[in-house]
Structure 1
Amino acid sequence: MTFSDLLPPFDQRGMDLCLDRMVRALKILNQPCGSIPAVQVIGTNGKGSIATFVHSGLVTAGIRTGLTTSPHLVDWTERIRVDHQQISHSRLREVLVALQPLAKAEALTPFELLITAALMHFAAEKVNWLVLEAGLGGRLDATTAHPHRPLLAVASIGLDHCEHLGGTLTAVAEEKAAAIQTGAIVISADQPPEVAAVLQQRCTQIGAELSWVAPLSSDWRLGLNGHVQRSNAAVAKAVLEQIQAMGWKLDHASIRRGFATAHWPGRLQAMTWRHHAVLIDGAHNPAAAEALSQERHHWPHAQEGIIWILAIQAHKQAPAMLKALLHSKDEAWILPVPGHRSWTRAMLIKAAPAWSGQLQELPEQPNNPDSTEAVVKVLERLDQKGWPKADPVIAGSLYLLGALMSEGRLAPGSTSIN
């Protein structure tokens, strides 16, 4: 079910960062969930993973929790959950219909409208805690309009959405760190020096407490694949320990069980195509590509070369992403992102001629923009040549992963690659 009649397309409105609209809207609605404490998760890469770990730990402990994440892969209802239950289509439509007059009066963006709908739903469901994943920013993010955010979890901060947040790590970090409230407890894993300096300065200026955590040890079983998840889970563990210190019934065993059963699709997820193993990952910026590249050191046969199947939006920093991903024995198939202007093989070779021998595209691709069909054709070619020893990796865009899942092109895999 679509909600196009109630949620205008994101690209139609464009990016319109402003906190005033949300503040007014929530005030008019008498602050839904205004007294409910929230963990706000800010950052660039890994926000959804941290939010998922925190949420899973709380729910496992029996604490009724509302979670909002973005973007979704297949269905809008993925963005709003109470415990492990996604909001139903009928309930989401009901809330969005009720909010239409306010949305029009305050000119709410689709993201602001969804966050408002989430808070309305959480209030009706009488949750005890909120886990709010910020969008692309912090200072002007819709989740920052929630007045009670005693805990902030900071995911890895890198360059992305530079056209809105600034072209340097310091500028991006300042925009995100501005979400930190006086008196908040802020928890982060290792960050680049420029980011660490910004976080420390912000916390010192406004009287917040900043805590750094090291990755979890290998004896922690995690439901999310990838070694980077040990850092994300460490942040989540420290957040949950703070909630426990606040007097909530939350023990070590619940945290461990919650982390082991956490599920966040599209992030270094093992899938199958015609019984062949493939990996999918939503990495869509240089920092995420670098993290994905680090993971390859733990993959069987990766030293013999990886075949990448990449779809990257035209406004993303694709050359920097390929620089991180592409090793000398690798090959990359460049495909379009469904419904978006995308990087092409020709554009990438113009940026870096040395890649001409490693970049591939389907000859019929310019006349057939069906991205998911293009993925299948690439996989068929690999199958005909003899399936590679290292699992092929589909990455570069969550839009592509969502389309593949919604069309049933891939099936869940069972292999853990931690």
Structure 2
Amino acid sequence: MTARSDAILERMMALHPKIIDLTLDRVWRLLDALGNPQNDLPPVIHIAGTNGKGSTLSMIRAGLEGAGKTVHAYTSPHLARFHERIRLAGDLISEDHLTAVLDECYAANGGESITYFEITTVAALLAMARTPADYTLLEVGLGGRLDATNVIGKPALTVITPVSFDHPQFLGNTVAEIAGEKAGILKPGVACVVSRQPEDAMAVIEARADAVGAPLLVQGRQWDAWEERGRLVYQDETGLLDLPPPALMGAHQFQNAGAAITALRHLGFGEDAAEAAVTRVSWPARMQRLRTGPLIDTHPGAEFWLDGGHNAACGETLAETLTRLPERDTHLVCGMMNTKDVAGYLAPLVPHAASLTAVSIPGETNTLPADETAKHATAAGIPAGTATSVADAVQAITAENPQARILICGSLYLAGTILRDHG
């Protein structure tokens, strides 16, 4: 079904030798060749941050759609198929439409150097500019300042979700440096919703906002959100909302919901949109319960969960989420990329993991070998071994404990391989 678009995407991989090379020069060149479609988008909400930006985007989308609005959305990476990255007026882009815009961008690029993410982002902008909708949601791919999505001169709103340490080889060696890259999406006169941040990150964001004249809506100042008796309480300068808890699991989702609600209220939407944001949201591979598929059918007594988080902050939120689940032995099946802080990710999970079975991520050249992941787990104090596949890992775990809770984790790329069978 996707052979044509897959073939074009494969061709695009050869246009630039580096997977990541942050600059906007190549993007501006291609956009100009295509007539600058970024100037024709419906009002844009641009979202950056280390963690939570995808969940926050999904809640904003659910809120807008609950209010009867049509919404484009661009996210990355995809899990099972590329089409997930581009939603046009609520629906995933069709194969024919995707093939057409990829072909057009490839031709307009004229064989010039451009990264895969850059040219596919331009294709998304082109498709969204040509399709009517009320709003456009753009998720930053990496950083913000030099990310291929940062080409919108006057968005309706920007959002910065929590900033933490990730991608130091591209974004900087301190949280403050990374925050500087995220703050690159701030635009003169455009309000920015800011989730609670480390103090040094907040100082950088505030300095950038002052420099460009961007008003900030900061958690703990202009708004806040918290859990109270199992419900979401939201407060801003116009009042208090008592809402159902977010449909996405984890205490961190209350903060993400708060950022989404602040965005919706700034755009002029009321309590119905806020409730839709938290009750209608869906975002795969974020502490997702797996209920169908071959693994579940083969091991009906086990409980299966999937999470794609991959940095130290994600490890902390995952650990906190596990404390909220009913008591049950939890066994990790973990695969990670070789660019990640494996020790930092695993450290918070030590008290919650009965074991860890490491796997290499299928089809990923930058996967961390399973035995390396296992060494990190052993060093952290988690009993660890390896398996050649997730299925083999699950078989070994359930042979000893048929009722185990099994959490497949460590990478969105690993999550994608699971969702292709279970999504």
Task: Report the TM-score when normalising by structure 1.
Answer: 0.87
Specify the alignment match of 2:7 in structure 1. Answer: 5
Residues 55/343 of structure 1: CA separation in 2 closer, same or farther (3 Å cut) = same
Is 1:229 matched with 2:253?
Answer: yes
1:75 to 77, 81, 88: 81
| Contact 1:309–1:333, Cα closer than 8 Å, also in 2 | yes
Q: Distance in 2 between matches of 1:220 and 1:104?
A: 51
Q: State the Cα distance separating 1:252 from its structure 2 match.
A: 1.7
Residues 328/186 of structure 1: CA separation in 2 closer, same or farther (3 Å cut) = closer
Specify the alignment match of 2:409 in structure 1. Answer: 395
Is 1:267 matched with 2:267?
Answer: no
Aligned runs of 1:38-49 on 2, under 5 Å?
Answer: 38-49=44-55
Aligned runs of 1:208-357 on 2, under 5 Å?
Answer: 208-213=214-219, 214-217=224-227, 218=231, 219-244=243-268, 250-272=269-291, 273-274=296-297, 275=300, 276-301=302-327, 305-327=329-351, 330-340=354-364, 341-344=366-369, 346-348=371-373, 354-355=379-380
| Contact 2:358–2:371, Cα closer than 8 Å, also in 1 | no
Residues 146/25 of structure 1: CA separation in 2 closer, same or farther (3 Å cut) = farther
Specify the alignment match of 1:178 in structure 2. Answer: 184
Q: Distance in 1 between matches of 2:154 and 2:132?
A: 16
Specify the alignment match of 1:375 in structure 2. Answer: 390
1:138 to 135, 144, 150: 144
SS, match of residue 169 in structure 2: helix
SS, match of residue 178 in structure 1: helix
SS, match of residue 313 in structure 1: coil
Q: Distance in 1 between matches of 2:339 and 2:18?
A: 17
Consecutive unaligned residues of structure 2, counting only runs of 5 or more, are 232-242
Aligned runs of 1:129-208 on 2, under 5 Å?
Answer: 129-208=135-214
Q: State the Cα distance separating 1:13 from its structure 2 match.
A: 3.4
SS, match of residue 121 in structure 2: helix
| Contact 1:286–1:320, Cα closer than 8 Å, also in 2 | yes
Q: State the Cα distance separating 1:230 from its structure 2 match.
A: 1.0
Residues 357/237 of structure 1: CA separation in 2 closer, same or farther (3 Å cut) = closer
| Contact 1:25–1:106, Cα closer than 8 Å, also in 2 | no
Q: Between Structure 1 and Structure 2, how many residues are aligned? A: 391
Aligned runs of 1:49-88 on 2, under 5 Å?
Answer: 49-88=55-94
Specify the alignment match of 2:234 in structure 1. Answer: none
Residues 259/104 of structure 1: CA separation in 2 closer, same or farther (3 Å cut) = farther
Q: Distance in 1 between matches of 2:277 and 2:376?
A: 45
| Contact 2:52–2:162, Cα closer than 8 Å, also in 1 | yes
Amino acid at match of 1:19: L
Is 1:384 matched with 2:388?
Answer: no
Q: Distance in 2 between matches of 1:9 and 1:105?
A: 12
Q: State the Cα distance separating 1:70 from its structure 2 match.
A: 0.5
2:385 to 348, 355, 360: 360
| Contact 1:349–1:356, Cα closer than 8 Å, also in 2 | no
Amino acid at match of 2:383: Q
| Contact 2:335–2:410, Cα closer than 8 Å, also in 1 | yes
Q: State the Cα distance separating 1:56 from its structure 2 match.
A: 1.6
Q: Distance in 2 between matches of 1:311 and 1:243?
A: 40
Task: Report the TM-score when normalising by structure 2.
Answer: 0.86
| Contact 1:184–1:209, Cα closer than 8 Å, also in 2 | yes
Give percent identity, aligned residues only.
28
Q: Distance in 1 between matches of 2:122 and 2:13?
A: 17
Q: Distance in 2 between matches of 1:346 and 1:254?
A: 47
SS, match of residue 326 in structure 1: helix
